[in-house]
Structure formats: structure tokens, C-alpha cells
Amino acid sequence: MKKLPSIAALLLGLAFITFGLNYFLKFMPAGGPTEAGSAKALFFGAIVPTGFLAFIKVLEITGGILVALPKTRNIGLLILGPIVLNIIAINIFIIGGGAVFQPPVIVISVLSAYLLFTAKNKFLGLLGD
């Protein structure tokens, strides 16, 4: 049972490293066409040209590396936590429909929640007394 968090961390780290690097190296095809004027097109039309998405992708790569390494796993979770919440929020509010139930979103959410749960005693100290 002690190996399960390490496996989950490696999978989560690999996912974020892969998707983060894909933004820069383009080794996997991007999502399908977006209807002009849709919320998704407007949202990504605003964050891509400004460089904000590139900044997020650098954080994904950094967080993925840190999560994969046992000694820095919790720092990686602190970096990836807000990103995971934003992935869920974008899928619910911007993309809509059944997008939140897509396998990558579910896997990333479950792995993150599991790792946070396994290290809950370390994170509770952040909340104070």
C-alpha cells in the first residue's frame, strides 16, 4: 500500500509533464475546432496571445516534475492544486456539457485528490492552529 502514492504521483507528474511539454513541442494533436464567438474560443483567444497559457504550462511542467519526486511531492501539489481546480472549472463553466466527465479530467482530479488525502497531515499545518 505504501507504493500506491508513489505510483499515483508518477502518473500525475507524467500527465502534467506530457501536456505541458505538448504546448511547446506540439507532439500530440490539439483539441477539435472551436465555434467562433463561443465562450471557449473567447476564453482561449484571451489567454493564449497574452502568454498566460505558456506561464501555466511552465508551472504544469515544474509541478509535474516536483510531484514525481518523493522529497518535493508536496511542493508540487501546492503548485498543481490551483491548476487542477482551474481545469475542472474551465471544463464545467467554459467548455460545458459533459466535458467535465472526460477521462483525463477525471484521472487528474482523482490522482490529485488521492495524493492530497495521503499527505493531509502535512497540509493541515498550512491552515494554522
Evaluate whether 12 touches 66 at the Cβ level (below 8 Å).
no
**Residue 11 carries which DSSP code?**
H
For the entire predicted model, the pTM comes to: 0.90
**In Å, how far are 26, 27, 48 from 55, measured between CA atoms?**
16, 19, 10
Angle CA 67–120–7, to nearest 5 = 40
Over residues 14-58, the pLDDT tens digits come to: 999 999 999 999 999 876 667 788 888 899 899 999 999 999 999
Phi-psi sector, 37: left (phi>0), alpha (psi -120 to 50), beta: left
The better pLDDT of the pair 66, 43 is held by: 66
Residue ranges per domain, the chain? 3-27+35-127
**What nine digits make up the cell of 14?**
507524467
What band does 80 get if pLDDT is binned at 50, 70 and 90? very high
